[in-house]
Amino acid sequence: MKKDLLLGLCLLLAARGARAQNPFIMDQYSADPSARVFGDSVYVYPSHDIRGGNGKGRADWFCMEDYHAFSSADLRHWYDHGMIVSQDKVHWVDTASYSMWAPDCIFHNGKYYFYFPSRARNAGGFAVGVAVADKPYGPFIPQDQPIKDVHGIDPNVFIDKDGQAYLYWAQGKIYGARLKDNMVELASEPVVLGELPEKGLKEGPYMIQRNGIYYLTYPHVENKTERLEYAMGSQPLGPFKVSGVIMDEWPDGCWTNHQSIIQFKDQWYLFYHHDDLSPSFDKNRSVRVDSLFFNADGTIRKVAPTLRGVGLTGAEEMIQVDRYSAISAAGARISFLDSSDRFRGWKLTLEATDGWVRYNGVVFGEMSRGIAEIRAASPDGGAIGIRADAMDGPVIATAAVPAGGAWSNIAASVSPLKPGVHDLFIKSLKGKVEVDWIRFPRNGLTHTDQQARNPIIYADVPDMSIIRVGDTYYMSSTTMHMSPGVPIMRSKDLVNWDIVGYAYDRLDDVDELDLNNGKSAYGRGSWASSLRYHDGRFYVSTFSGTTGKTYIYTTQDIEKGPWKAVSFKPSLHDNSLFFDEDGKAYMLYGSGKIMLAELNDDLSGIREGTTPQMIIEDASSVAGPIGLRAEGSQLFRIDGKYYLFNITWPRGGMRTVTIHRADRLTGPYVGRVALQDKGVAQGGLINTPNGEWYAYLFRDFGAVGRVPYMVPVQWQDGWPVLGVDHRAPDTVALPISKGLDPGIVASDDFSRQKGAPAFPLVWQWNHNPDNSRWSLDQRPGYLRLTTGRVDTSLLLARNTLTQRTFGPGCSGVTAIDVSHMKEGDQAGLLLLQKKYGWVGVRVTGNKKYVVSVREGTTTDSVALTQRTVYLRADCDFRRRADKGCFYYSLDGKNWKPVGTALKMEYTLPHFMGYRFGLFNYATKTPGGYVDFDYFHIGEAFSSTEN
């Protein structure tokens, strides 16, 4: 019986849709929604409001330059397919007008026709164009010219039951005409639908038919702002009789509204817009949806706009209680979480014990442990209560909210509640309380209990490529100018990783990689890699702008090696190595323009007699106007389809994930935006043995570097849908991290057992080392670094031994015997990036000094009279402080600050997060040496606040 009940709840959710809260597009402005049912999904084609000015139209007026398509199979999870039409891709459009106003889309004879208005380049007035596609999300190909004799805005297409298509539009009045079967030409002269009100602006026609009645719906300014009205008739072109109001004017003065109406799974819905995300500027609007009902006589029942939207919400989801069904007259209000970033949404504030909200339609199943998780804050401490089904219904949870005003996730016990659909009443019990969301996890685990947190690795591990072999995951990453290079990491859970090897010891021997003749490879070396497993062998490809080559490494044992290398010219940028089902090897590569090259059977180069072909002309275009062109290609073949991941950076936006899909390797490819949140981007897909899918991506995180994120993935209509509500979540349903030590970073006492590797794999040299100038044997238990030449800069000195810093804070400590340094020598502990800093010892006038240096400038100097000195560097990455502080000690216990704090900064010339480094270099006479006793790394800061 329990199983049948839960199945019934799932079917109810599927039938009615769930949590389409208003507005339902929360990452951009959207208006004038044209909704259509294609197949088993709803597609919405809104106009795309942006802020004008600065060369983009008028700052005080409507400004639109492109269109996106959105779809949902349940009115609950909406997916942005990305840009489908842009004004700069339509020949006849005046691209200075930014007037891509309300559109529509229709399916006819196997094609999708997208209708859109804009000001024409030559005529100056508005015209209506058409773009055609094979899929509802594109790619849409605009026709060269607009539809002849159609001058106006807000096109709407209706196909009657006899197959005849009609086009409606507005220009002061509302017009209609028959369309030819080609859908791009009029079949009749336009007529004015003249039975409508004479007074006031009328626009935005949208036609539906129900039970033989034709409903012409439209916005109309009867007073000062638009309300939604309708007229009824017996023919598609009238005559019509004005019959009523669908939605009243906005009481807050928002000037416009615009509607479409569909029937989906036996329920009618009204799509419309409001200025929710821009209440002080009603030219930036957001689309909404609410249920619509007909009276018995065929008239339309007036719709009251709601924040709650339509459908049911699962109790385990984040219930956004600020999207309430009802609210108390006093003591409760909503406001933006962050007024500087309104796309983050709203919060509920309960200011007194009489404040409450109701949130209806929450589906509860069986819970193994009754827990409510509440994200809340209170300045002075407070409490809230949650009741079920009525204001005087049973109390199912109470929660005390700590004082201080900081947001926290609070766990509260839940009283037993019968599985089914319930309404929730949230009420203040004490003090002022702010609430972001509430959820009831089925397994009783809160988000912070047993879930991993992003970033998964709080250290510089960019450009990841991940595969799974059996129950083991392997990952390659980028370390550019470091040696050895292309680290290979292993994990059993996608969270806890350890380095098991490197693809190469030395990428190549050239001056830049060897730090010879004043040359270096900072920020270059080898870039993004591609890790593959094929026919029992492992493959890693990478490329280098330093050498102009592409490199491929192969092995049968990824954890022990050895790796066999081949290389060839040219350097294929951000290549993705791919073995197709026929066994042939290919590389996809490029920036913006994505190319496909077939490789020789031995992978030694591009196959002779073949020419690389372009498979995507501009992979960036789906994300909008280009800032950084699409790169970072990673290709996957899943269930017979090809999925290409890229990173791009739209102008004025953030790093963005795009996905292109095709039925064949060579295309054609259809693209969409997959994730646009926090700049989390570049990566690909991985699945678990249990069939769960994740996207592995990275995020620029300040001075610590580019840090890995794991983002959950669901599949919808054959597309991977990334994130939670299209956001990269802070927590993810994976095991918690056990820390980075010793898998990614580790302490080292420089003692080695016989036969042990020279260094733990956490260490890398800055550029290729001079192996004759370091030793672990000349003084066992110590690392000896001996100078071999004179250098003018620390950044040009060889044999700096490094490992990653990590967040949120870390410390590195070492002890050095400096008794054999020569005049002009400098040695110590480094925080390495272009804007570097170090603490160490300098020999000047045959005297030794503890010094602190920032980018070559000494900020402090203290005389040193003993042979051993202890050095420490602390890194504070908390809240992007990005501060480095340096200390020295004469006994390893009592620490003294030295110099000023280093303001760490991630710079593109080095293109790498900060690293700890041990170094020794000569400025006058080579041959001096220092002995490092140990290097200890840890999370703790000292008692001194840095």
- Find tokens 């005409």 and name the residue: 177
**What are the structure tokens assigned to 157, written together?**
């297409």
- Find tokens 């109701």 and name the residue: 358
Q: 820 exposed, middle or buried (CB, 10 Å; 0-12, 13-18, 19+)?
A: middle
- Rounded CA separation 521/506 (Å): 13
* List 32, 275, 434, 817, catalytic entry: 32
Q: 118 exposed, middle or buried (CB, 10 Å; 0-12, 13-18, 19+)?
A: buried
Instruction: Choose among 152, 143, 32, 27: nearest CA to 80.
Output: 27
Q: What are phi and psi of 371, to 5 degrees?
A: -130, 135
Torsion from C-alpha of 274, 277, 278, 279, nearest 10 degrees: 70
Q: What are phi and psi of 513, to 5 degrees?
A: -80, -25
Q: What are phi and psi of 762, to 5 degrees?
A: -70, -20
Instruction: Choose among 345, 337, 424, 408: nearest CA to 375.
Output: 408
Q: Are 386 and 425 in contact (CB under 8 A)?
A: yes
Contact partners, residue 11, CB within 8 Å, separation at least 6? none
Instruction: Choose among 794, 796, 876: nearest CA to 837.
Output: 794
**What are the structure tokens assigned to 270, written together?**
């009204």
- Rounded CA separation 155/147 (Å): 11
* Helix H or strand E encompassing 43: strand 41-49
C-alpha R_g of the chain: 32
**What are the structure tokens assigned to 854, written together?**
């920032």
Please state the length of the chain: 946
Residue 737: DSSP 8-state: P
Q: What are phi and psi of 719, to 5 degrees?
A: -120, 140
Reduced to 3 states (helix: H, G, I; strand: E, B; else coil), residue 4 is: helix
Contact partners, residue 595, CB within 8 Å, separation at least 6? 572, 588, 589, 612, 613, 614, 615
Reduced to 3 states (helix: H, G, I; strand: E, B; else coil), residue 774 is: strand
316 is catalytic: no
Any bridge partners for residue 648, and if so which? 656
Three-state secondary structure of 892-941: CCCCEECCCCEECCCCCCCCCCCEEEEEEEECCCCCCEEEEEEEEEECCC
Amino acid making up residue 501: G
- Rounded CA separation 330/315 (Å): 27
- Find tokens 């900081």 and name the residue: 406
Q: How many CB atoms lie within 10 A of CB 840?
A: 28
**What are the structure tokens assigned to 464, written together?**
């990841």
CA distances from 118 to 150, 185, 623, 891 (A): 12, 17, 21, 76
Q: Are 453 and 447 in contact (CB under 8 A)?
A: no
Q: 331 exposed, middle or buried (CB, 10 Å; 0-12, 13-18, 19+)?
A: middle
* List 203, 436, 460, 882, catalytic entry: 203
Q: How many CB atoms lie within 10 A of CB 678?
A: 17
**What are the structure tokens assigned to 522, written together?**
């900072």
Amino acid making up residue 375: R
Q: How many CB atoms lie within 10 A of CB 296?
A: 5
Residue 2: DSSP 8-state: H
- Rounded CA separation 711/695 (Å): 5
717 is catalytic: no
Active-site residues, by number, are 32, 203
